[in-house]
C-alpha cells in the first residue's frame, strides 16, 4: 500500500463543539434546571462555559485518562461535562442513578472515578454512599451558586467553580481518536453492571451516521428534545448529532411527565423527540385526557424496548407524528437499526409501509453489520422468518468490557452476540422476536414474549402487558400475562383472553392472566427477572 495524502485529523468530540460554535453559534439550547428554572443559551454559550469547565477540571487535577463521574439529568450543565471531560482526554462515566445503591457503588469503584459531579436531587444518595466511594476525591454539586447549601461531603459548587475561570480560547489537546471518552455501564439485570468504554472515534462516526437521512434525518430546521437519559448510552448520541447538524436542543432535566414535556414541546416548538415506550404511553394518554395536540412535533424515535403497534398508530392517525422505531444497546453506542422507509417497501403501498415500519425494529444502516446465526451455528437466510442470535460488527460496536480484558467477547470473525433473537428480511429490515433469556420455550417451540405483549397491550384498558415464561410441569414453560391497567379502568381476565383469541395461535394463549403493577428496570424496561421470580410457582 502507499499512504493516503490527506490530513491526519483525529475524530475528537471537541471538533463537534468547535463546529457548532462556528457554524451554528446562535442556535439555541434550552434547558430546564433541577431548580425548576428554564436556562437559555446557544452553542457559542455552550462552548464558552465548556472552556471554563475545562480549566476548572485541570485545576482539580484531572488528567488525560482519568475518570470523572456524573450523576445527573438532562440539563445544560451535564451537557457541558459531555464536552469538557472527554475534551481533556479524560473519560466521563455517566452513572445511572436508578441503579441500586450497591450497583452505584460498584460502578464508581470499578471506574475508579476521582471526581463526582451530581445534581441536587442526588444529594441524599451521595451523602448516604460517599463513605463507600474510595476513589472519589472531589464532589461537585451541579447547582446555582446562590442555592448551594453546605452538605456532608463538602461538595464544591459548579457555578462558583467555573465562574472563577476564563472563557477565553482554550488549547484543546489533540490525541489519538481511539482514546476513551465515555464510560457507560449496562444496567446489570444479570450480574454486576459492565462498563462499555466509547472511544472518541466511535462517538463521532456514530453521530455522523445517526444524523443521516436513512436514520434520524436531522437538519438545522429541527428542534430536538432528547427524552432518553444522558446517562443511558449518551441519550442515543443526540448531544453530538444535534450540534453537528445545527438543531436547536431542548433538555427536559428529569421532568419526563407528560405535562412538563408538553410545556416544552409546545413552548419551544419541538419537532423531533425520542425516548423509551413508557414515556410515550403516558404522554399519549395525557393528550387524550386533556384534548391537546402535539404542536410542531413531527417525528419521534422510540427504542429500548419494542414499540407497541398501537402506539405508532395513535401517533400517526391522531397526531400526524411519524414514529421511527430504533434498536440498539449500550454496547453499540447505542444505535443499531432505524425503521425508515425505502423505495422497495414504499412500492408496496402505505398500509404495507406502516406495517413494516411499525413491526420491525429497523433497517440496516451503514457502519453496523448484522447477521442472524441459527441454533446449528450457520448463518440464517434473510427471509424474515428464520430467527436466531443477532450478531453485530462495526466501528461503534464493543470489543471488550472495561477492565474485563481477560474475557473474549467476540467470535473469531469479530462479531458481537447481542443476546437478542431476531430475523432479517430481504429489504434489510431486522425484527427482534425476543431477548434470548426472555423467549418462552414450550414443548420444544418458542413463543415470542414481545409479540404477545404487543398484541395484549392493544386490548382496551390495558396500559402495560408483560409476558414471562414460567415453569410448567408438562410443557417446560408456559406464558403468564401480567396486566397493568390504565388508571380507573377495570379489565377482566376473560376480556383479555377474548381479545387475544382471534389474534394469536392457540398454543400461544397465556395459561394465566394476572393483574398487578408491572415492575420496570433502571432503564425503564419491563423487569422480567423480578416477574419470573414473583410468579415462578404459579403453574406448578
**Chain residues 250-269 in contact with ligand ADP, contact rule CB under 6 A:** none
User: Using omega within 30 degrees of 0 as the cis cutoff, is the peptide bond preceding 334 cis?
Assistant: yes
Coil vs helix vs strand at 135 = coil
Annotated active-site residue 453? The verdict is no
Annotated active-site residue 535? The verdict is no
Among 180, 253, 523, 528, binds ligand ADP (CB under 6 A): 523
Nearer to ligand ADP, 20 or 183 (CB): 183
Cβ neighbors of 368 (< 8 A, separation 6 or more) are 332, 335, 336, 337, 392, 393, 394, 396, 397
Q: What DSSP designation does 506 have?
A: G
Q: Is 500 an interacting residue with respect to ligand ADP (CB under 6 A)?
A: no
Q: Is 435 an interacting residue with respect to ligand ADP (CB under 6 A)?
A: yes
Grid coordinates given for 317? 392517525
In the chain, what is the greatest distance between 2 CA atoms, to the nearest angstrom? 72
Closest separation between CB of residue 227 and ligand ADP, Å?
14
Q: Which stretch binds ligand ADP (CB under 6 A): 2-10, 154-162, 251-259, 302-310?
A: 302-310
Among 325, 397, 423, 433, binds ligand ADP (CB under 6 A): 325
Do 102 and 78 form a contact (C-beta atoms < 8 A)? Answer: no
Among 303, 341, 388, 469, binds ligand ADP (CB under 6 A): 303
Closest separation between CB of residue 53 and ligand ADP, Å?
28
Q: How would DSSP label each residue in 360-398?
A: S-EE-BTTBEEEEE-TTSSBPPSSSS--EEEEEESTTS-
Among 361, 365, 442, 449, binds ligand ADP (CB under 6 A): 361
Among 34, 224, 329, 357, binds ligand ADP (CB under 6 A): 329
Q: How would DSSP label each residue in 459-481?
A: STTEEEEEEEEEEETTTEEEEEE
Grid coordinates given for 426? 430481504
Among 397, 418, 442, 449, binds ligand ADP (CB under 6 A): 418
Closest separation between CB of residue 398 and ligand ADP, Å?
10
Size of the site for ligand ADP (CB under 6 A): 22
Chain-centre distance for alpha carbon 10: 26
Q: How would DSSP label each residue in 216-257?
A: T---TT-EEEE-S-TTTHHHHTHHHHHHHHT-EEEE-BT--S
Q: Is 245 an interacting residue with respect to ligand ADP (CB under 6 A)?
A: no
Annotated active-site residue 327? The verdict is no
Annotated active-site residue 507? The verdict is no
Among 258, 334, 341, 469, binds ligand ADP (CB under 6 A): 334
Closest separation between CB of residue 165 and ligand ADP, Å?
35
Active site positions, annotated = 186, 331, 441, 446
Q: What residues line the site for ligand ADP (CB under 6 A)?
A: 186-187, 233, 303-306, 325-327, 329-330, 334, 361, 418-420, 432, 435, 521, 523, 525
Amino acid at each position: 500500500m502507499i499512504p493516503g495524502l490527506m490530513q491526519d485529523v483525529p475524530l475528537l468530540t471537541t471538533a463537534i463543539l468547535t463546529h457548532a460554535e462556528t457554524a451554528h453559534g446562535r442556535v439555541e439550547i434550552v434547558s430546564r434546571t433541577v431548580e425548576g428554572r428554564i436556562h437559555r443559551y446557544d452553542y457559542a454559550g455552550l462552548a464558552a462555559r465548556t472552556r471554563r469547565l475545562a480549566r476548572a477540571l485541570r485545576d482539580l487535577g484531572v488528567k488525560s485518562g482519568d475518570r470523572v463521574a456524573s450523576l445527573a439529568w438532562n440539563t445544560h450543565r451535564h451537557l457541558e461535562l459531555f464536552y469538557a471531560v472527554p475534551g481533556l482526554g479524560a473519560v466521563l462515566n455517566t452513572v445511572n442513578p436508578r441503579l441500586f445503591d450497591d450497583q452505584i457503588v460498584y460502578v464508581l469503584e470499578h471506574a475508579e472515578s476521582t471526581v463526582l459531579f451530581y445534581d441536587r436531587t442526588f444529594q441524599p444518595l451521595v451523602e448516604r454512599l460517599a463513605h463507600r466511594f474510595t476513589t472519589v476525591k472531589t464532589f461537585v454539586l451541579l447547582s446555582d451558586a446562590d442555592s448551594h447549601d453546605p452538605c456532608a461531603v463538602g461538595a464544591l459548587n459548579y457555578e462558583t467553580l467555573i465562574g472563577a475561570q476564563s472563557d477565553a480560547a482554550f488549547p484543546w489537546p489533540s490525541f489519538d481518536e481511539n482514546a476513551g471518552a465515555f464510560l457507560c455501564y449496562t444496567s446489570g439485570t444479570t450480574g454486576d453492571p459492565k462498563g462499555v468504554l466509547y472511544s472518541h472515534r466511535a462517538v463521532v462516526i456514530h453521530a455522523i451516521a445517526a444524523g443521516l437521512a436513512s436514520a434520524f434525518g436531522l437538519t438545522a430546521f429541527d428542534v430536538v428534545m432528547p427524552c432518553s437519559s444522558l446517562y443511558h448510552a449518551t441519550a442515543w448520541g443526540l448531544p453530538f448529532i444535534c450540534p453537528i447538524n445545527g438543531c436547536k436542543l431542548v433538555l427536559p432535566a428529569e421532568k419526563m411527565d407528560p405535562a412538563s414535556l408538553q410545556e416544552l414541546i409546545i413552548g419551544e416548538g419541538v419537532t423531533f423527540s425520542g425516548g423509551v415506550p413508557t414515556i410515550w404511553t403516558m404522554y399519549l394518554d395525557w393528550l387524550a385526557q386533556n384534548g391537546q395536540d402535539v404542536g410542531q412535533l413531527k417525528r419521534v424515535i422510540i427504542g429500548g424496548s419494542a414499540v407497541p403497534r398501537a402506539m405508532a398508530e395513535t401517533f400517526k392517525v391522531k397526531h400526524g407524528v411519524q414514529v421511527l422505531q430504533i434498536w440498539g444497546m449500550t454496547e453499540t453506542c447505542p444505535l443499531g437499526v432505524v425503521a425508515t422507509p425505502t423505495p422497495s417497501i414504499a412500492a408496496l403501498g402505505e398500509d404495507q409501509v406502516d406495517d413494516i415500519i411499525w413491526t420491525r425494529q429497523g433497517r440496516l444502516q451503514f457502519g453496523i453489520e448484522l447477521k442472524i446465526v441459527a441454533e446449528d451455528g450457520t448463518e440464517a437466510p434473510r427471509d424474515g422468518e428464520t430467527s436466531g442470535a443477532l450478531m453485530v460488527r462495526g466501528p461503534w460496536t464493543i470489543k471488550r468490557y472495561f477492565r474485563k480484558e481477560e474475557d473474549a467477547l467476540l467470535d473469531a470473525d469479530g462479531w458481537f452476540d447481542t443476546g437478542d433473537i431476531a430475523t432479517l428480511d430481504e429489504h434489510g429490515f431486522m425484527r427482534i422476536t425476543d431477548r434470548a433469556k426472555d423467549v418462552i420455550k414450550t414443548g420444544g417451540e418458542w413463543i415470542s414474549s414481545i409479540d404477545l405483549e404487543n398484541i395484549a397491550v392493544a386490548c382496551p384498558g390495558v396500559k402495560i402487558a408483560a409476558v414471562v415464561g414460567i415453569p410448567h410441569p408438562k410443557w417446560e414453560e408456559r406464558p403468564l400475562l401480567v396486566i397493568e391497567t390504565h388508571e380507573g379502568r377495570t379489565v377482566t381476565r376473560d376480556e383479555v383472553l377474548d381479545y387475544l383469541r382471534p389474534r394469536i395461535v392457540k398454543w400461544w394463549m397465556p395459561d394465566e392472566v394476572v393483574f398487578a403493577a408491572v415492575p420496570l428496570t433502571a432503564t425503564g424496561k419491563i423487569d422480567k427477572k423480578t416477574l419470573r421470580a414473583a410468579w415462578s410457582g404459579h403453574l406448578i
